Structure 1
Amino acid sequence: MSAAAGLVTAAAVVGVWLDRLPGHLVFAAAPPLFASWLPHTGPGTPAAVLLALAVVARGPELADRLPWRRALLAGYSAAVAWTFALALVDGWQRGLAARLTSGHEYLHEVPGVTDIGAMLHGFTARILDFQPDSWTTHVAGHPPGALLVFVWLDRIGLAGGGWAAVTCVLVGCLAAVAVPVTLRAAGAEPVARAALPFAVLFPGAVWVGASADGLFTGVTATGVALLAVGARAAGPERVVPACLAGGALLGFGAFLSYGLVLLAAVALVVPLLLRHAWAAGLAAAGALAVVAAFALAGFWWPDGYHLVVRRYYQGIGAERWYAYWVWADLAALAVAVGPAAVAGLRRAAALARGYRPGHAGGGRSAVVPLAGAAALAVLAADLSGLSKAEVERIWLPFAVWLVSAAALLPSASRRWWLAGQAATALAVNHLLLTNW
C-alpha cells in the first residue's frame, strides 16, 4: 500500500513539474489523472456518501447470506446507484448528459451516419487526421463498433447525451455482477461473494459514469461471464449458446476498442480453470463470426489498427512523454482500482508463487489466474506506448478483473478496505473535475 501511495504521489509531483516545462510533456492538468483541480460538491454528494456507508456496513453480510440471484440483483442495483450518485456530484448536465456530446466524442458523428453500410465501407479512409472528413478524435481512435452502438441508440429513439450516458452506466455496471459470476462458475462461490461488495464500490465507477469505456467494460465482462457459465454448464443445450454468446461479446469488444484484444488473456483463463477445451473453441467461433461480419460489411480490423497507430502520433500522443507515462499510467490505474485491489494483488502475487491449478487455497485458485491475466494485459498495453495517460478510463475493462483480488483480503478487515475504496472514489469526484 505504501508503495502504491508513493507511486501516485510521485506521479502527481513529477507530472505537475514536467507540465510546467516548455513543450508540455504531460498534457494532463491533474496528473496522473486526466482531470482538473476543482473541489466541489453537488446533488449526488449525499446519495454517494449514504450509499458508501450502507455498502460498507451491510455489504459483506448481505453478500454472504442472500440467495445468489438476490445477491447479484442487490449488487447490480447498488453499483448502478453508486455510479449515478458519483456522476451527479457534477450535476446532471456536466456529470452525465454532456459527457459524450463534445466535438471529440462519438455523438458528434452520429447525425452524419445516414447509411451504416457506407460508413463501415469507408471507415478506414477517414481515420487519419488533417483531412476534410477525418473522424473526430474518439471515433477515429476506435473501431466502428463503438460508433455503431450510439448510432443504434439514435435509431431506436434514444438520441442525445442523456440516453448515451445512461446506457454507458447501465451496461458498464454489469461488470459488478459479471466478475462474481465468473468466479462462482469457476468453483469459487465464497470468493465470489466476498468480491461482490468490492465490485460495487469500484472507484473506477467515477469513469464508468459516463464514458464509452464503461460500456466497453460491461460488454466484455459479460462476455467472460457467459463463457464461464457455459463452460460450467452440463449438456450441450446450455454449453453451446452460452459459450458462443460469450465469444461473440468478446469479439464485439475488439470492435469497440482495439486494445481489448488483450482481454483474450483473461478469457483463456476460464476454460483452463474449468478444464473445458470445447468452451474455448466455441467462444473462438463466436468471436470469429463477429470478425467475419465486420469484414463482410467492409471493415477489416488490422487495417484500422495500423491506421489508428498513425493517427495516435498525429496528436498529443506524440507529445506525451513515454518515459513519464510508462510508470505514471500505473499510478492512475492504482487510483481507479483502489487500495483494496492493490492490497489484494499483493496477496495474489504471493499465492501465485506457489500456484497450482485447483490447489491455491480452494476458491482462491480462480482469483490468481484471472487477476494475473488482467495484470499481464495491462503490462502489454502500458509498454506499447499507445496508452499514455487517460488509462483510468481506458483500462476499465482490465481494472474490474484486478479488483477481484480484493476478495483475498481477510474477512475481518474487509469493511475497512471497502471504506478505503469508497473514500478513494469520493475524493476523486469531489476534488477533481474529471474529463470523462
Structure 2
Amino acid sequence: MIPTTRLDAPKVARPTSGNARLTEWVPVTVWALLITGVFAWGEVLHRTGRSPQDDLPPLHATARLLTWQVLPAAGTAVLILTVLPVLARRLRWPLLVLLGWAAAVAWASALAISDGAAGFIGPITQPGEYSNGLASIGDHPLRWLATFTQKAQQYPIHVKGHPPGPTLILWGLDAAGLHGPGWAAAVVITAGSSAAAAIAVTVKALAGEELARRAVPFLALAPLAVWIATTMDALFLGVGTWATALLALAAAPPAPSRRRATVCAVTAGLLLGALPYLSYGLLPLFATPLAVLVLARPRWPVVAVVLAAMTIVPAMFTLAGFWWPDGVAATHQAYLATGGSSRRSYLYFLIGDFAVLGLLVGPAVAHTVPTLARSLRHGIRRSMPQAECAYAGIALLASAALVGAATLDLAGLTRGEVERIWLPYAAWMLIAPAAHMPPGRRWLAAQAMTGILVQALIHSPW
C-alpha cells in the first residue's frame, strides 16, 4: 500500500486538448532538429579545419558503430521498463528509493560494459586525468595542498584545471587500501547513480510523493548514464544532489524533529561547502538549493545552520594552505598557456552545448517543456489550485538547473565537453517527465533508446 503523506500533486495529470497535445510535440521536433543541425554544422566545421580539437563536435568524441555489444544495455533497459514503473506505484517509499538507485547503477554499468573493462576504467586512466596526479601527493597530502597553486602547471590537465578536491578523494581511496582504477570506478558509478535517489527524495519533500514516484523511472533510465561510468563529474553530481536533498529534508514542511533537521542541515552545508572545491564550474549549481529555499521557505534557524556548516570545508582548505581564488587564478593561467577551449568557436558551442544537453536529458524532457512552462507561469501568478502547485515545484527545480548551465554557456566557460561538465545540472531536468500521466512507458522507452543509440554510435573518452 502506498503511503499517503505529502501527496500534494493531483493523481492524474490535467487533461489537455488536441491542440495542446499537438503543441507538446513541437519541442520534441525542435529537440531532434537541434541535435541533427548542430552535428551537421559541426561536421562542416571539422572538415574545413575550423574545429580541429574535436572529431565529432559538439561532443569531444569519435563516431563508431556497435551492434551486439549493446545487447546487455538493451536487456537491462527492457527489464527496467517492465518492472520499475509498476514497482514505482506499489513499493514502499524507502525500498523504491533504493531500487531506483540500484536500477541507475545497473543501467550505467550495462551501457559501459559494451566497451568491456575499458568502459569502466578507461576514462579514469586517461593521461590527463586525476589518477595520474596521485604520485605528486605521495604521503604528504597537506604539503601537496599547501603548494598546489604554485606547482599547478606541473600537473595533468584535469588536476590543474580543477580544485584539489577530486585528486584528494582518489588519494584517500588509495590510502584506505582501495587501490587501482577499479575501486575508483566503483565509487564514481555508485555516487553518480545515487543522484536518482537523491533527486527523488528532493521531489518528495518539495512536491509530494506521487510526483516523486513518477520521476523515479526517468531518473534511473536516463540517457546521461552513458557518462555516469566513469567520469569524475558523476561524483560531483552525486555530491550536489545529496546536498540539495538533505537541504530539502531539513527545510521542507512538515518539520522533522529538531535533531534530524539539524543533522540534515549540517550535512547539507558541509556538502554545499565542498562543491567549489570539486570543480570551479559548480558555482552556478547553487541555483538549485536556492530553488529549494524558495519552495520550502524554511525557518531561519535551519538556514543559519546550513550557512554556518558551509564555511567548514572552505575553512579547512584555507587553513591547510589552499586559497580558492589562487586556485582559480592558477587554472586561468593554465587555460591561457594551453589555449584551452578558447580555440573552439563561441557561437557554435553556445548553441551546440544545448544540443548536447538534449542528448543528456532525452526526448521525454523536451516533450514536457510546455506543461512545465505553464505550471511555472501559473505558480508564479498563484493562479492554480494548491494541489497543482507541485508541478510548479518540479518546474522551478528543473529551471534552476537550466539557468545554472546556461550561465556557464553564455559566459563561454563551457565550450565543449559539456557531456560531462553539465551532468550535475542535466540530472535535475530529468524530473520533468513526472508531469506526464502515468505509466508513460513509451517516453521511458524513448529515453532508453536515446542512451543505447548514443553508446552505440559515439565513443567518448569520458
What TM-score range do you get, normalising by the shorter chain?
A: over 0.9
How many equivalent pairs are there? 427
Q: Which residue of 1 aligns with 2:312?
A: 289
1:360 deviation in Å?
A: 7.4
1:2 aligns with 2:25: no
Which of 14, 37, 41 is the matching residue for 2:63? 37
1:192 deviation in Å?
A: 0.5
Task: Give me the TM-score of the superposition, normalised by structure 2.
Answer: 0.89
Q: Which residue of 2 aligns with 1:50?
A: 75
1:15 deviation in Å?
A: 0.5
Percent identity, aligned pairs only, is 37
Determine if contact 2:372/2:392 at 8 Å carries over to the other structure: no
Q: Distance in 1 between matches of 2:67 and 2:183?
A: 24
Determine if contact 1:8/1:32 at 8 Å carries over to the other structure: no
Q: Distance in 2 between matches of 1:73 and 1:403?
A: 18
1:225 deviation in Å?
A: 0.7
Spell out, residue by residue over 1:306-360, the C-alpha distance to the aligned partner (whole angstroms, 9 max, x if none): 3323322423312111111011000011101111122223322222222237847
1:113 aligns with 2:137: yes
Q: Which amino acid aligns with 1:127?
A: A
1:339 aligns with 2:359: no
Determine if contact 1:106/1:147 at 8 Å carries over to the other structure: yes
Q: Which residue of 1 aligns with 2:390?
A: 363
Q: Which residue of 2 aligns with 1:423?
A: 449
Determine if contact 1:82/1:200 at 8 Å carries over to the other structure: yes
Spell out, residue by residue over 1:155-183, the C-alpha distance to the aligned partner (whole angstroms, 9 max, x if none): 11112221111110011111011001001
Q: Which residue of 2 aligns with 1:222?
A: 242
Tell me: CA distance 1:352–1:187, structure 2 relative to 1, closer, same or farther (3 Å): closer
Q: What does residue range 18-167 of structure 1 map to in structure 2 within 5 Å?
A: 18-22=45-49, 24-25=50-51, 27-41=53-67, 45-92=70-117, 94-114=118-138, 115-128=140-153, 134-167=154-187
| Secondary structure at 2:448 match in 1 | helix
Q: Distance in 1 between matches of 2:35 and 2:446?
A: 15
1:26 deviation in Å?
A: 5.6
RMSD between aligned residues = 1.6
Long gaps (5+) in structure 1: 129-133
Q: Distance in 2 between matches of 1:346 and 1:53?
A: 28
1:54 deviation in Å?
A: 1.9
| Secondary structure at 2:256 match in 1 | coil
Determine if contact 1:199/1:404 at 8 Å carries over to the other structure: yes
1:238 aligns with 2:260: yes
Q: Distance in 1 between matches of 2:370 and 2:187?
A: 34
| Secondary structure at 1:298 match in 2 | coil
Long gaps (5+) in structure 2: 1-27
Q: Distance in 2 between matches of 1:126 and 1:294?
A: 17
Q: Which residue of 2 aligns with 1:267?
A: 289
Q: Which residue of 2 aligns with 1:318?
A: 342
Which of 421, 424, 428 is the matching residue for 1:397? 424
Task: Give me the TM-score of the superposition, normalised by structure 1.
Answer: 0.94
1:306 aligns with 2:329: yes
Determine if contact 2:215/2:434 at 8 Å carries over to the other structure: yes
1:34 deviation in Å?
A: 1.7
Q: Which residue of 1 aligns with 2:271?
A: 249
Q: Which residue of 2 aligns with 1:131?
A: none
| Secondary structure at 1:29 match in 2 | coil
Q: Which residue of 1 aligns with 2:42?
A: 15
Q: Distance in 2 between matches of 1:339 and 1:291?
A: 39
Higher radius of gyration, 1 or 2: 2
1:376 aligns with 2:376: no
Spell out, residue by residue over 1:275-333, the C-alpha distance to the aligned partner (whole angstroms, 9 max, x if none): 10433332222221111111111111122123323322423312111111011000011
Q: Distance in 2 between matches of 1:122 and 1:353?
A: 50
Determine if contact 1:76/1:177 at 8 Å carries over to the other structure: yes
Q: Distance in 2 between matches of 1:317 and 1:386?
A: 8
1:258 aligns with 2:283: no
| Secondary structure at 1:119 match in 2 | helix
1:33 deviation in Å?
A: 1.8
Q: Distance in 1 between matches of 2:210 and 2:124?
A: 38
| Secondary structure at 2:223 match in 1 | coil
Q: Which amino acid aligns with 2:391?
A: R
Spell out, residue by residue over 1:33-78, the C-alpha distance to the aligned partner (whole angstroms, 9 max, x if none): 22111112465x3331122112222322211111001111111111
Bigger drift between 57-66 and 310-319 goes to 310-319
1:408 deviation in Å?
A: 1.2
Q: Which amino acid aligns with 1:61?
A: V
Determine if contact 1:245/1:286 at 8 Å carries over to the other structure: yes
Q: Which residue of 1 aligns with 2:435?
A: 408
Which of 160, 180, 189 is the matching residue for 2:200? 180
| Secondary structure at 1:204 match in 2 | helix
Q: Distance in 2 between matches of 1:187 and 1:17?
A: 45
Which of 167, 189, 202 is the matching residue for 2:222? 202
